[in-house]
Amino acid sequence: MNENINSFDGLNPEIFIDAVEESLGTRMTGFAAPLTSYINRVYELQAVNGKRFIAKFYRPGRWSKEALIDEHNFILDCEEVEIPVIAPIVLKNGKTLGEINGIYFAVFTKKLGRFFEVCSDVDWKRLGSILGRLHIVGARRKAVARIKHHPMTSTLEEINFLKDGMFISSRYMQEFNSLTNDILDTIGDLFENIEYIRTHGDCHCGNLLHRPGEGIMLIDFDDMMTAPPVQDMWLLLPDHACNSKKELKLITEGYAQFREFDFSSVKLIEPLRIMRLLYFLAWCAKQEKDLKFQSNFPNWGTDSFWRQETSDLRNQLDIIKQDI
């Protein structure tokens, strides 16, 4: 057998269709449509009875088995209380996680829907309501294998990954080092004595579907993390917190129908934004050898790239300092 067949890049329809067919105990057709995903390998498949499935093959080394189980447990906990989600199917092994050649995978029933668009005050309150329900579930148990989204843990690790891996242009290394030290010194203490719960982690409108009769459906929990609850709000906002006061008011009104909101945590929104900028840079570094990434980010790693990124970080840090 070709050595590459056992690798993540060597996944082909013959391998993954057989794996899904065996795990479900359902005969599949040869239909396999790849779906957009930089990190994982995701395919739409079809059974001989016409039913469609989404199979997600997780990139080795990104999440541990325990972290993937944390993700699945969170989704299943949501499903149990009828929060609209797409839960992983329990496979023939009695688990939601399968394995082929050392690669973990999950299978989901395909569900159609359109991306949720916020068109009214009522829609903002609906977003708050679904997040309030989500966070009631998120607070019920811990996800010990998942990232704790804190400046001095996850963000520090991402900064060190970029510096230790020499991903930063030499021309901007000194500035990046000074800038990130300033960032951590500025925002680190803001995250002390703050509630941390299981959160979606990547809650933007692209991960919300609207299904007639079911309301707003939360999808793609791949970046699930332990974080302050406001993590699931700020990505939905149209602008910086100071320019989104109306939207924040409406979201928190909807949220408060199900769960008390800590209004002091609004001060974390702009720090969370700068933490996401650093997360994105580390994410880019981890994908730099992927051919799809190279074609989509041809400027990655150049002097001009790092000039823009350090400028963006500096501007965001200035906004944070003005707020505190």
Q: Is the distance from CB of 113 to CB of 63 less than 8 angstroms?
A: no
Average pLDDT of the segment spanning 54-77: 96
Q: In the predicted model, what is the mean pLDDT of residues 167-176?
A: 97
Checking DSSP bridges between strand 197-199 and strand 225-227, what pairing results, if any? antiparallel
Residue 2 has a pLDDT of 37
- What percentage of the chain carries pLDDT values higher than 90? 83
Is the model's pLDDT at 134 over the cut of 50?
yes
Per-residue pLDDT, 168: 97
The answer on pLDDT for 6 being more than 70 is no
Longest CA span, the chain: 61
Give the CA distances from residue 320 to residues 187, 272, 323, in Å, rounded to whole numbers and listed in that order.
8, 10, 5
The pair of structure tokens assigned to 284 is 């880019």
Task: Give the rounded percent of residues in the chain with a pLDDT score beyond 70.
Answer: 98
pLDDT, one tens digit per residue, over 215-268 is 899 999 999 999 999 999 999 999 999 999 999 999 999 999 999 999 999 999
What average pLDDT does the segment 17-28 reach?
Answer: 95
Q: Are 96 and 76 in contact (CB under 8 A)?
A: yes
Q: What is the pTM for the complete model shown?
A: 0.92
* Domain 121-323, second-level architecture: Orthogonal Bundle (1.10)
Helical H segments across the chain, by residue range: 13-24, 65-80, 121-138, 156-164, 173-187, 231-234, 245-256, 269-287, 291-296, 303-323
* pLDDT tens per residue across span 81-109: 999 999 999 999 999 999 998 999 999 99
Residue identified by tokens 């057998």 is 1
Contact 209, 219 (CB under 8 A): yes
User: Would you list the domain boundaries of the chain?
Assistant: 3-111, 121-323
Of the residues 121, 123, 182, 202, only one is catalytic, namely: 202
CA 132 to chain centre: 18
* pLDDT (mean) for 159-163: 98
What CATH code is assigned to 3-111?
3.30.200.70
First to last CA, the chain: 60
pLDDT for the residue numbered 8: 79
Tell which wins on pLDDT, 221 or 38: 221
pLDDT at 322 over 50: yes
Whether residue 165 is predicted with pLDDT greater than 90 in this model: the reply is yes
Active-site residue flag, 202: yes
Active-site entry in 70, 220, 222, 223: 220
Find the length of the chain.
324
pLDDT digits over 178-210, tens only? 999 999 999 999 999 999 999 999 999 999 999
Cα(134)–Cα(218) distance, integer angstroms: 9
Contact 40, 57 (CB under 8 A): yes
Residue 44: the pLDDT is 96
Quick one: CA torsion of 106, 72, 88, 39, rounded to 10 degrees? -40
pLDDT at residue 274 above 90? Answer: yes
Q: How far apart are CA 27 and CA 29, in angstroms?
A: 7
User: DSSP letters of 167-213?
Assistant: -S-TTTHHHHHHHHHHHHHHHGGGGTT---EEE-S--SGGGEEEETT
Average model confidence (pLDDT) across the chain? 94
Residue 166 · residue 177 · CB < 8 Å: no
Residue 269's pLDDT is: 98
